[in-house]
Structure 1
Amino acid sequence: MSAEHNTRRKVMHFIFLQMALLQEISRVATRYTKLMFFYQRNRIINLFKENEQPEKERAKVFAAVAHITSVEESNNPEKGAAKIERLRHTIDGLLTSFAHCDLTITIQTLPNRHVTAYLPEYQLKCIQIQEGPECDPMFVEFRLQEEFVERVEKFDWFLFIEDDIVLYDAFILEKLENFNRQSGYENAILYPNRFEMYQGTKRYIDLTIEPPVWWNQLSSVEIESVKFAESSHTHSAFYCLSKSQMKHWIKSGRIFKNQVVNVGPLESAATFCLLECFSIYKPHPSNLNYFEVRHYDSKYSKLYPEPESPYTLSAVNNSHPPSVKDS
């Protein structure tokens, strides 16, 4: 091998060595620079921090919970364990969803027909228990309307909820305000879709109990890419009205306020009595989960198992057997 060739090879090795060194230095310098920027992050945030938190007026929300148990469950926490658990979750859902509001919770019940005494201490401190005069327990839900009427000037929102419904949605008021403002229908109100979780599957029970379900294409609306429609199955065991909507309901005379309409007293008090002056909308099947509440039970899922229903959803494909890892 000639001396000239060796010299050329040494020169090339030297050049590549310098390039490799520069690359390594650049990589280390980049890493060091990123670390320095990271360490200065809090100083930059502190330098440009807001001096005050923006003040926002807290909405006043009145939530009324319909709650009835048997006398045996009321007197024995072991027998009433399931009712205690679901009521606890209902109250926790309200406290979670309205933590940014001024919330008043009342439990509407009957003497010796409730399990509130077994609730945790922190919940007992933030609820009001109203034991109304004796009546048919199935009609207790109608009394909640009268609570709303009496307080119509004291609160901004009026929420009806049964004791086995769980709401976890801190943006519920924003969603309702947006719908009320942009639906284009003066008497339209928005209900959530109600679901159960059973064996890892989510079932929108009010849409699977008595199929088929029809959606009114003529009056459907779309607001900011979210679609809403009137449904042939309107019940949710839940509603939330603004003060202006509550006043409109009062002005209508509430002809159906104590009447069983079409179905049972529970459904009449929670849903069908409002149809005398409101059109009830729900999120459309294209976006069912936009506004939803959980039925803290699985009885309807067991009674009406419909794995092929478009209103039954699962994050896992159950059509294939689970894979087994090699040990």
Structure 2
Amino acid sequence: MSAENNTKRKVMHFIFLQIAILQEISRVATRYTKMMFFYQRNRMINLFKENEQPKKERPKVFAAVAHITSVEESNNPEKAAAKIERLRHTIDGLLTSLAHCDLSITIQTLPNRHVTAYLPEYQIKCIDIQESPECDPMFVGFRLQEEFVERVEEFDWFLFIEDDIVLYDAFILEKLEKFNLQSGYENAILYPHRFEMYQGTKRYIDLTIDDHLSWNQLSSVEIETVKFAECSNPHSGFYCLSRKQMKEWIKSGRLFKNQVVNVGPLESAATFCIMECFSIYKPHPSNLNYFEVRHYDSKYSKLYPEPESKYTLSAVNNSSNIPIVKDS
């Protein structure tokens, strides 16, 4: 009986040895096959490469930057260092996000009230500086609108941006076009949310500074799972209108131009004067980051530092102020 058990044990060991050998051969063969497929990857791509597609017509975008500094800052780059950095980032944001477009950038300013001379050489070459000596410094945003009106037939899109706002979105035109076509409202336009980054925390400042912020549930819309709504503080320091929308605005008579209709002249020019013709939407709180711009500053975060606001986001848990000390 012992000899029989020993024979069975040897047979079983032999069988499992064969299985183990086959498994190892299979594992090595699989690895070898994967490596061979990997090495053939570029050949396969070239074999089935897509034919050259006709180049899509590049959208023509007219971006106008409202920019004013003090005379002292204009004449002293050291005192204007912060303003120079902000404007540089604003222009870089436009050049990056709209690199696939035919882009024209105008800096709307006043004589001896700007820091464009201190910008990098590549930026100076791609901007048009327009000084309007007859314009009140606080009303530059309104003067900028006249440029849009005068050049309405030359461009497809008209983008207004303040000199401390940075755009990080190469799909901005696609998002705007989709909203314009599918919102269901002829007079609806889409604004981005404006945020600041302060001590690693992202604050949607136009939503945190308003103690009585509210959203219009009745007129909210949803487009391909993304929600949009009107809110009581639509300001962003930024807007982008299509040629069709610009013509609608012109047709309305623009009765609010050069008028302080809410808050102040800067906010009126950037947002509230447009509301005579359009209803302004922003991404709903359920998808705040769908369309956003950065306010390249932290002043509102310091003035309104509510860490518990639902419009204040952080990628890390800041619930405890106790520092974590790692053992050395």
TM-score range, shorter chain: over 0.9
Task: Give the corresponding residue for 1:244.
Answer: 244
**RMSD across aligned C-alpha pairs, in angstroms?**
1.2
Unmatched 5+ residue regions in structure 2? none
The residue type equivalent to 2:326 in the other structure is K
**Equivalent residues, number:** 327
The residue type equivalent to 1:194 in the other structure is R
User: What SS class does the counterpart of residue 302 from structure 1 fall into?
Assistant: helix
In structure 2, C-alpha distance between the alignment counterparts of 1:5 and 1:277, rounded to whole Å: 95
The residue type equivalent to 1:118 in the other structure is Y
Q: 1:134 deviation in Å? A: 3.8
User: What SS class does the counterpart of residue 104 from structure 1 fall into?
Assistant: strand
1:111–1:134 contact (8 Å) kept in structure 2: no
Percent identity over the alignment is: 88
Task: Give the corresponding residue for 1:136.
Answer: 136
In structure 1, C-alpha distance between the alignment counterparts of 2:257 and 2:293, rounded to whole Å: 24
Task: Give the corresponding residue for 1:84.
Answer: 84
Q: Deviations over 1:209-260 (max 9, x none)?
A: 1212011111111111111111110111110000000000001111111111
The residue type equivalent to 2:319 in the other structure is S
Task: Give the corresponding residue for 1:266.
Answer: 266
Alignment map for 1:277-296 (pairs within 5 Å) = 277-296=277-296
In structure 1, C-alpha distance between the alignment counterparts of 2:3 and 2:232, rounded to whole Å: 94
In structure 1, C-alpha distance between the alignment counterparts of 2:227 and 2:258, rounded to whole Å: 33
Q: Which shifted more, 67-76 or 316-325?
A: 316-325
Q: 1:325 deviation in Å? A: 2.5
Task: Give the corresponding residue for 1:48.
Answer: 48
The residue type equivalent to 1:56 in the other structure is K
Task: Give the corresponding residue for 2:218.
Answer: 218
The residue type equivalent to 2:282 in the other structure is K
Alignment map for 1:8-19 (pairs within 5 Å) = 8-19=8-19
User: What SS class does the counterpart of residue 222 from structure 1 fall into?
Assistant: strand
Q: 1:2 deviation in Å? A: 4.0
Task: Give the corresponding residue for 1:160.
Answer: 160
Q: 1:316 deviation in Å? A: 1.1
Task: Give the corresponding residue for 1:196.
Answer: 196
Q: 1:308 deviation in Å? A: 1.2
Alignment of 1:255 with 2:255, yes or no, is yes
In structure 2, C-alpha distance between the alignment counterparts of 1:2 and 1:240, rounded to whole Å: 90
Q: 1:138 deviation in Å? A: 0.5
2:135–2:143 contact (8 Å) kept in structure 1: no
In structure 1, C-alpha distance between the alignment counterparts of 2:45 and 2:61, rounded to whole Å: 35
Q: 1:17 deviation in Å? A: 1.4
In structure 2, C-alpha distance between the alignment counterparts of 1:120 and 1:105, rounded to whole Å: 15
Q: Deviations over 1:63-86 (max 9, x none)?
A: 000000111111111000000000
2:194–2:295 contact (8 Å) kept in structure 1: yes
In structure 2, C-alpha distance between the alignment counterparts of 1:131 and 1:66, rounded to whole Å: 11
In structure 2, C-alpha distance between the alignment counterparts of 1:314 and 1:280, rounded to whole Å: 27
Q: Deviations over 1:124-176 (max 9, x none)?
A: 11111111124321011111110001110000000000000000100100110
TM-score (norm 2): 0.97
Q: Which shifted more, 85-94 or 133-142?
A: 133-142
Alignment map for 1:295-314 (pairs within 5 Å) = 295-314=295-314
In structure 1, C-alpha distance between the alignment counterparts of 2:159 and 2:78, rounded to whole Å: 30
In structure 1, C-alpha distance between the alignment counterparts of 2:3 and 2:251, rounded to whole Å: 107
1:61–1:155 contact (8 Å) kept in structure 2: yes
Task: Give the corresponding residue for 1:324.
Answer: 325
Alignment of 1:169 with 2:169, yes or no, is yes
1:190–1:280 contact (8 Å) kept in structure 2: yes
Task: Give the corresponding residue for 1:120.
Answer: 120
Q: 1:263 deviation in Å? A: 1.8
In structure 1, C-alpha distance between the alignment counterparts of 2:51 and 2:184, rounded to whole Å: 40
Task: Give the corresponding residue for 1:60.
Answer: 60
TM-score (norm 1): 0.97
Q: 1:186 deviation in Å? A: 0.5
Q: Deviations over 1:71-108 (max 9, x none)?
A: 11111110000000000000000001101110000000
Task: Give the corresponding residue for 2:99.
Answer: 99
In structure 2, C-alpha distance between the alignment counterparts of 1:302 and 1:251, rounded to whole Å: 42
In structure 2, C-alpha distance between the alignment counterparts of 1:227 and 1:4, rounded to whole Å: 76
In structure 2, C-alpha distance between the alignment counterparts of 1:85 and 1:262, rounded to whole Å: 29
The residue type equivalent to 1:310 in the other structure is K
